[in-house]
């Protein structure tokens, strides 16, 4: 399948959190993908500061868009078919910068504007790297704010199979990293520390691993805090490795169970946590055990980027049409599901 094959060349804009991103996508081909991370601006505070993020997007967005167009070899006045931007979920001040800019650019260049759901963008990331996916696939979508198991029956057709009842997986990585003093963003910091640690050093709980397809990570986070208080001499590397192993075990057990339950023809990962090496390896191993292909987006397509937004926008434009120019940003936007 070619994601959004008929929409032509689409400029994607992503500003939902702390990455300012723009990309040019043409069918399944990513002509450019520019991501300007604000990590350095937020690191001193141990997490994303919404006000700082919004202001930084304002400064960075137009240079990032210009670079994406230049690298993609695109003359916007003549070559573009649409401008797509993330309209939610995310930080309202950050979303508004991208949405307003995208509408203004679409008006100036006289092309349609397409408002894209950030979560749907993550689901499209795997399609860019694996255009031949056979449906349905079960996608484990694990980001900073969401943890969902979705049966994807095709673009635009999503069934929710399970989700977190409390913290998102990425949130758990970020909170444990902050507690251990490993820095922000927590996921990559935990993965780095864990590579020098023993995943069996601590027997952390695997919450709800044996039943259902929902997740819970708040107990695991608390277990880490208690374990470190009991053993203050414990090596961060061992705590990080044991924590990461507990998260990976639960995520992959449920991914495999969900795939079996819906008769999936493949497994996918999406979202920032899907950049995690041990999670990718465990998902690939589980897929092999089930005799199914694993369609893992590249690491760069897992974390926030605008190519996935352009790809989702291209499909949306072709199948549902453009978005009205009065489309607002919605910080709590949900993924549209089929019953």
Which residues lie near ligand KG4 (CB under 6 A)?
A: 17, 143-145, 170, 173-174, 185-188, 191, 271-273, 275-276, 303-304
Which residue's CB is nearer to ligand KG4, number 9 or number 20? Answer: 20
Exposed e or buried b for every residue in 206-241, given b needs 16+ CB within 10 A?
bbbbeeebbbbbeebbebbeebbeeeeebebbbbbb
Partner whose binding site includes residue 173, from ligand KG4, Zn ion, none (CB under 5 to 8 Å by kind): ligand KG4
Instruction: Return the SS3 of 45.
Output: coil
Partner whose binding site includes residue 227, from Zn ion, ligand KG4, none (CB under 5 to 8 Å by kind): none
Taking the mean position of all CA atoms in its chain, how far away is CA 328?
21
Question: 192: which DSSP letter?
Answer: H
Which residue's CB is nearer to ligand KG4, number 240 or number 287? Answer: 240
Which residue's CB is nearer to ligand KG4, number 293 or number 297? Answer: 297
Nearest partner of 296 among 83, 133, 60, 159, judged by Cα:
133
Please report, as ranges, the residues that interact with Zn ion according to CB under 5 A. Answer: 143, 304
> 313, 114 in Cβ contact below 8 A?
yes
Which residue's CB is nearer to ligand KG4, number 26 or number 217? Answer: 217
Token pair for residue 186?
């927590």
> 306, 14 in Cβ contact below 8 A?
yes
> 266, 258 in Cβ contact below 8 A?
no
Partner whose binding site includes residue 303, from Zn ion, ligand KG4, none (CB under 5 to 8 Å by kind): ligand KG4
Instruction: Return the SS3 of 67.
Output: helix
* Nearest approach, Cβ of residue 170 and ligand KG4 (Å): 3
> 164, 141 in Cβ contact below 8 A?
no
Exposed e or buried b for every residue in 143-157, given b needs 16+ CB within 10 A?
bbbbbbbbbbeebbe
Which residue's CB is nearer to ligand KG4, number 290 or number 300? Answer: 300
* Nearest approach, Cβ of residue 302 and ligand KG4 (Å): 7
Which residue's CB is nearer to ligand KG4, number 81 or number 88? Answer: 88
Partner whose binding site includes residue 186, from Zn ion, ligand KG4, none (CB under 5 to 8 Å by kind): ligand KG4
Partner whose binding site includes residue 273, from ligand KG4, Zn ion, none (CB under 5 to 8 Å by kind): ligand KG4
Partner whose binding site includes residue 164, from Zn ion, ligand KG4, none (CB under 5 to 8 Å by kind): none
Partner whose binding site includes residue 98, from Zn ion, ligand KG4, none (CB under 5 to 8 Å by kind): none
Partner whose binding site includes residue 12, from Zn ion, ligand KG4, none (CB under 5 to 8 Å by kind): none
* Nearest approach, Cβ of residue 89 and ligand KG4 (Å): 8
* Nearest approach, Cβ of residue 264 and ligand KG4 (Å): 22
Which residue's CB is nearer to Zn ion, number 76 or number 272? Answer: 272
* Nearest approach, Cβ of residue 202 and ligand KG4 (Å): 18
Q: CA distances (Å), 228 to each of 172, 181, 237, 248, in order?
A: 16, 12, 12, 20
Instruction: Return the SS3 of 251.
Output: helix
> 304, 20 in Cβ contact below 8 A?
no
Which residue's CB is nearer to Zn ion, number 144 or number 266? Answer: 144
* Nearest approach, Cβ of residue 179 and ligand KG4 (Å): 14
């Amino acid at each position: 399948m070619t994601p959004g094959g008929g929409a032509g060349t689409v400029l994607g804009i992503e500003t939902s959190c702390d990455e300012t991103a723009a990309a040019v996508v043409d069918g399944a081909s990513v002509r450019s993908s520019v991501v300007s991370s604000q990590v350095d601006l937020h690191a001193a505070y141990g997490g994303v500061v919404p006000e700082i993020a919004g202001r930084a997007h304002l400064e960075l967005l137009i240079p990032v868009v210009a670079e994406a167009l230049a690298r993609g070899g695109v003359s916007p006045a003549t070559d573009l078919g649409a401008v797509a931007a993330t309209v939610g979920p995310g930080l309202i001040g950050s979303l508004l910068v991208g949405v307003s800019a995208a509408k203004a650019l679409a008006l100036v260049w006289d092309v349609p504007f397409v408002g894209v759901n950030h979560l749907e963008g993550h689901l499209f990331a795997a399609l860019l790297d694996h255009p031949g996916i056979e449906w349905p696939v079960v996608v484990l979508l694990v980001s900073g704010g969401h943890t969902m198991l979705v049966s994807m029956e095709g673009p635009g057709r999503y069934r929710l199979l399970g989700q977190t009842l409390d913290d998102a997986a990425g949130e758990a990585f970020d909170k444990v990293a902050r507690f251990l003093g490993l820095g922000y963003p927590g996921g990559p910091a935990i993965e780095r520390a864990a590579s020098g640690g023993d995943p069996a050093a601590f027997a952390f709980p695997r919450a709800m691993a044996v039943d259902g397809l929902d997740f819970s990570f708040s107990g695991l986070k608390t277990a880490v805090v208690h374990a470190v208080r009991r053993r203050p001499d414990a090596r961060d590397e061992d705590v990080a490795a044991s924590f990461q192993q507990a998260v990976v075990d639960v995520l992959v057990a449920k991914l495999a169970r969900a795939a079996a339950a819906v008769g999936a023809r493949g497994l996918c990962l999406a979202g920032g946590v899907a950049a995690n090496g041990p999670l990718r390896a465990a998902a690939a191993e589980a897929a092999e055990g089930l005799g199914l292909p694993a369609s893992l987006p590249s690491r760069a397509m897992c974390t926030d980027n605008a190519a996935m937004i352009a790809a989702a926008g291209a499909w949306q434009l072709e199948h549902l049409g453009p978005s009205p120019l009065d489309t607002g940003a919605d910080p709590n936007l949900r993924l549209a599901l089929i019953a």
